[in-house]
């Protein structure tokens, strides 16, 4: 393969027998990632806040003849400790391990100057985009440690590396995600069983992008399907040994 994950081409059975959880699996990039992982043989756990959307993805996976997924309905804005513990318990009982964790769910919040940023909205964005990936990772670490080859992928953004006016809590939460990924990568690198990386999808045709740029013609943007090479590379076995990186899909 080329050294550039953007050019990565995966074998059809890349994720055979792998157990992979995707957050925000009901829509946008997460939905496409869930379908792609399942198509490549993974047993997927579809986590999200809107049951009907998750069921639609479930149906698509079953219709594709791919491994039957599981659904976990959870709203990160309101989930409490028990909800995370229950998720880990049921996954422990059903699978006994976790091979991949794609932290994809996220919210944009307000586009507003710091001077006027509503404090409650700030807290909500930081909670959904940053605190929750931390809590979920910590809760699921024992299951990831039970895998021979586990991959954690956090979703970053261009504004998570270089701050930009009016991107407020969203940008700051993505800076935090880059930091969380680096700290965890450093903590797990010596053992070598878990790799931890960030992915930046870049401008992509989804509801979030439409909300951020209402005047933009969506037709000018790539579909999530076109980004799946780097997602498959990072979540699958071919990125073994790669950790602490932050890669761009475009
Ligand atoms: P979408 O808004 O299309 O999808 C976001 C997903 O996250 C949805 O499935 C949504 O669920 C879920 N979600 C939101 N809030 C919660 C919550 N409280 N609890 C559980 N799930 C929740 O976004 P994208 O697909 O565009 O974005 C995916 C990731 O990529 C995000 O982390 C985003 O920051 C990042 N990104 C996107 C870019 C782009 O141009 N699209 C560019 C750079 C980064 P529901 O459908 O039920 O609302």
Q: What is the pLDDT of residue 132?
A: 98
| 128 Cα nearest atom in ligand 1 | 18
209 lines ligand 1 (CB under 6 A): yes
Catalytic residue among 8, 58, 84, 170: 170
Q: For 126, which DSSP code?
A: H
Mean model confidence pLDDT for the chain? 97
Per-residue pLDDT reduced to its tens digit, 21-77: 999 999 999 999 999 999 999 999 999 999 999 999 999 999 999 999 999 999 999
Q: Is 83 helix (H, G, I), strand (E, B) or coil?
A: helix
The pLDDT value recorded for residue 60 is 98
Predicted confidence band at 161 (pLDDT cuts at 50, 70, 90)?
very high
- What are the structure tokens assigned to 221, written together? 């943007």
Is 129 part of a structural domain of the chain? yes
Catalytic residue at 231? Answer: no
Q: 6 in a domain, yes or no?
A: no
Q: Alpha helix (H) ranges present in 158-204?
A: 168-189
Domain presence at residue 198 = yes
- Determine the residue of 208, 231, 247 to mutate for testing ligand 1's pocket, defined as the one with the most ligand atoms within 8 A of the Cβ atom: 208
For residue 50 and ligand 1, the question of a CB distance below 6 A is answered with yes
115 pLDDT tier (thresholds 50, 70, 90): very high
Q: Would you state the pLDDT for residue 1?
A: 45
Q: Does any domain span residue 3?
A: no
Whether the pLDDT of residue 109 is over 90: the answer is yes
Q: Give burial (CB, 10 Å; 0-12/13-18/19+) of 93.
A: exposed
CATH number for the domain spanning 208: value is: 3.40.50.720
> Domain for residue 5, yes or no?
no
In terms of residue numbers, what domain contains 25? Answer: 11-248
Q: pLDDT tens across 208-230, in order?
A: 999 999 999 999 999 999 999 99
Contact yes or no for 223/211 (Cβ under 8 A): no
79 occurs within a structural domain: yes
Nearest 10 degrees: Cα torsion 47, 84, 123, 113:
-30
The pTM (predicted TM-score) of the whole model is 0.98
In the reported structure, the alpha carbon of residue 77 is separated from the centroid of ligand 1 by a whole-number distance in angstroms of: 13
Query: Ligand 1, closest atom to CA 29?
Result: 25
Lowest mean pLDDT among 6-10, 54-58, 81-85, 158-162: 6-10
**Sheet with 19-23, edge to edge strand ranges:** 70-73, 43-48, 19-23, 100-103, 150-155, 194-200, 246-248
Q: Is residue 109 part of a domain?
A: yes
Tell me if 4 is assigned to some domain.
no
- Residue 72 alpha carbon to ligand 1 centre in Å: 16
How many structural domains comprise the chain? 1
């Amino acid at each position: 393969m080329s050294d550039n994950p953007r050019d990565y081409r995966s074998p059809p059975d890349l994720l055979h027998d792998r157990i992979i959880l995707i957050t925000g699996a009901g829509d946008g990039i997460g939905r496409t990632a869930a379908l792609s992982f399942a198509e490549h043989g993974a047993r997927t756990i579809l986590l999200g806040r809107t049951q009907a959307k998750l069921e639609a993805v479930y149906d698509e996976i079953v219709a594709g003849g791919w491994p039957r997924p599981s659904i976990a309905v959870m709203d990160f804005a309101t989930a409490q400790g028990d909800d995370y513990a229950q998720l880990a318990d049921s996954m422990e009982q059903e699978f006994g391990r976790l091979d991949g964790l794609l932290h994809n769910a996220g919210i944009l919040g307000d586009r507003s100057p710091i001077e006027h940023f509503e404090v409650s909205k700030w807290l909500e964005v930081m909670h959904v985009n940053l605190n929750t990936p931390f809590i979920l990772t910590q809760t699921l670490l024992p299951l990831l440690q039970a895998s021979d080859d586990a991959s954690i992928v956090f979703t970053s953004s261009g504004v998570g590396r270089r701050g930009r006016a009016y991107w407020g809590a969203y940008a700051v939460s993505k800076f935090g995600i880059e930091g969380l990924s680096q700290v965890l990568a450093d903590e797990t690198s010596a053992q070598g069983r878990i790799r931890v990386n960030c992915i930046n999808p870049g401008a992509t045709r989804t509801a979030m992008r439409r909300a951020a740029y209402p005047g933009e013609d969506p037709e000018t943007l790539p579909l999530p399907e076109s980004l799946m090479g780097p997602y498959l590379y990072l979540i699958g076995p071919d990125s073994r040994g790669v950790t602490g990186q932050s890669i761009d899909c475009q």
